[in-house]
Amino acid sequence: MGVPTRADLAGIPDYIIPGRPPGAILLNSNENSLPPLPAVVEAVAAAAAGGNRYPQWFSEDLVARLSAELGFPESWVGIGCGSVSLCQQLIQAYCAPGDEVLCAWRSFEAYPVFARVAGVRARTVPLDSGHRHDLAAMADALSPATRLVFVCNPNNPTGTAVGAGELRTFLERVPSDVLVVLDEAYREFVTDPDVPDGLLLARAHENVAVLRTFSKAYGLAGIRVGYCVGSPDVVAAVNKVAVPFAVSGPAQAAATAALSHTAEVNERCRAVAAERERVRDRLTAAGLSVPASQANFLWLPLGDRSADFAGFCENNGVLVRRFGDEGVRVTVGAREDNDVFVRAAEAYASAG
């Protein structure tokens, strides 16, 4: 008999890792279908040559580059092993047993998992009828135990986003001793001008922190680097609980190099957004319900047909991401891959 684990560990759901069978079209992980820019690959290779040395502890060079890019003092910027790592660090830094984390549901599935791993309660508030954060209901759900609130904007897995006015109204209702984390992992794909830039809100509210990542728009999902922008106290707390040297030298070099090519990255994001609308138009024309998305993926709220639809797509060579009996998320990939998916979805709709 082995050493027993924590008694509550068995009840914590696993973070689901999508499958990657050989030959399948992978539209199930919200990856960028394009590889990193050549200059970024060169920077990674050069940094790998110094792999015998530890990287900078706090990614100081990358912090300085982001500070200049974003217009925030360096003390306002923290680096993590992807924005998902920063989610966990924020919970560790701000929550103790008896506290709770509040988030929408369905939203990024790591939020409640990380809360329970940290030994704190996760409370969820259903999305509204438009598959968006119900910020009024979330404000009503705040309790004296709430220490941290996640707002994923655009939301994963639905792609929906809340506007500036409703988000500001929500922030006015949140007590100053509750941290609101705006998870903007998909910010670069936003085309709706009403979707606010969280960095402006972080300037105006000391209890707002913004998370962004190089995994999606910059095509560095396999490199693992993201960042947090918030008051110096928030960044200091994030750094306090960080795993030492978690962000590798090649990751720091990749992100720093990528920031020198934002025009090319933005052009790629505009192309993804245009392709997103093309795919959505085809799906809605086929009779499928698809809410407007501001991310690099689309949400099909198929309910109890979700498993059947996902299986049909897989049989046609395309992997999508099923979320229980709620819906299916499909990443916007290369045009030819999207066309294979669209044909499968159209065939499914016509048969059903």
**pLDDT, tens digit, for every residue of 136-192?**
999 999 999 999 999 999 999 999 999 999 999 999 999 999 999 999 999 999 999
Would you state the pLDDT for residue 314? 95
CA–CA gap between residue 54 and residue 171 (Å, rounded): 40
pLDDT of 4: 85
Q: Is the confidence at residue 304, as pLDDT, over 70?
A: yes
What does the pLDDT average to over 192-204?
98
Q: Residue 15 burial by CB count (10 A; 0-12/13-18/19+): exposed, middle or buried?
A: exposed
Q: Classify the phi-psi angles of 49: left when phi > 0, otherwise alpha if psi is within -120 to 50, otherwise beta.
A: alpha
Q: Is residue 15 part of a domain?
A: no
Please tell me which residue, 4 or 331, carries the higher pLDDT value: 331
- Of 299, 265, 229, 247, the closest CA to residue 27 belongs to 299
User: CB of 47 within 8 A of CB of 252?
Assistant: yes
User: Could you give the C-alpha distances from 235 to 61, 87, 133, 242, in angstroms and in order?
Assistant: 16, 12, 26, 11
Locate 4 and state its tokens. Answer: 């027993």
Contacts of 66 (CB under 8 A, 6+ apart): 72, 77, 227, 259
pLDDT tier for residue 20 given thresholds of 50, 70 and 90: confident
**pTM to 2 decimal places:** 0.96
Q: Do 77 and 43 sit in the same domain of this protein?
A: yes
- What DSSP string runs through 30-71? ---SSPPPHHHHHHHHHHHTTTTSPPPTT-HHHHHHHHHHHT
* One domain for residues 317 and 191: no
Average pLDDT, the chain: 96
Segment (H or E) for 120: none
Q: What is the pLDDT of residue 141?
A: 98
pLDDT (tens digit per residue) in 208-265: 999 999 999 999 999 999 999 999 999 999 999 999 999 999 999 999 999 999 999 9
Nearest to 135 by CA among 176, 157, 168, 92: 168
Contact 185, 156 (CB under 8 A): yes
DSSP conformational letter for 159: -
Domain identity same for 239 and 324 = no
Same domain, 136 and 269: no
pLDDT at 12 over 70: yes
CA–chain centroid gap for 71, Å, is 23
Tens of pLDDT, residues 66-95: 999 999 999 999 999 999 999 999 999 999
Quick one: pLDDT at residue 318? 97
**Which CATH number do you get for residue 186?**
3.40.640.10
Statement to judge: residues 70 and 197 lie in one domain: yes
Q: Is residue 71 part of a domain?
A: yes
Tokens 């998320």 belong to residue: 329
Q: What is the pLDDT of residue 121?
A: 96
Domain co-membership, 310 together with 180? no
Q: Is residue 10 part of a domain?
A: no
Q: How far apart are CA 93 and CA 323, in angstroms?
A: 29
Which pLDDT value is given to residue 344? Answer: 98
Same domain, 239 and 313: no
Residue 244 exposed, middle or buried by CB count within 10 Å (0-12, 13-18, 19+): exposed
Residue 347 lies in a domain: yes
Q: Alpha-carbon distance 211 to 82, whole Å?
A: 9
Tell me the per-residue pLDDT of 22-35, one tens digit each, with 9 for 90 and over.
Answer: 789 999 999 999 99
Maximum distance among all Cα pairs of the chain, rounded to whole angstroms: 59
The position carrying tokens 């009779």 is: 287
Judgement on whether residues 135 and 267 belong to the same structural domain of the protein: no
Q: State pLDDT tens for residues 96-152.
A: 999 999 999 999 999 999 999 999 999 999 999 999 999 999 999 999 999 999 999
Closest CA to 29 of 161, 154, 157, 184: 157
Do the strands 327-331 and 297-300 form a parallel or antiparallel pair, or are they unpaired?
A: antiparallel
E strand map for the chain: 25-26, 77-80, 100-105, 121-126, 146-152, 179-183, 208-213, 226-229, 297-300, 318-319, 321-323, 327-331
Same domain, 201 and 278: no
Give the number of domains in the chain.
2
Report which of 344, 164, 189, 166 is spatially closest to residue 269, judged by C-alpha positions.
189
Residue 312, domain CATH: 3.90.1150.10
For 102, the domain range is 38-261
Per-residue model confidence (pLDDT) at position 1? 67
pLDDT in the model for residue 17: 73
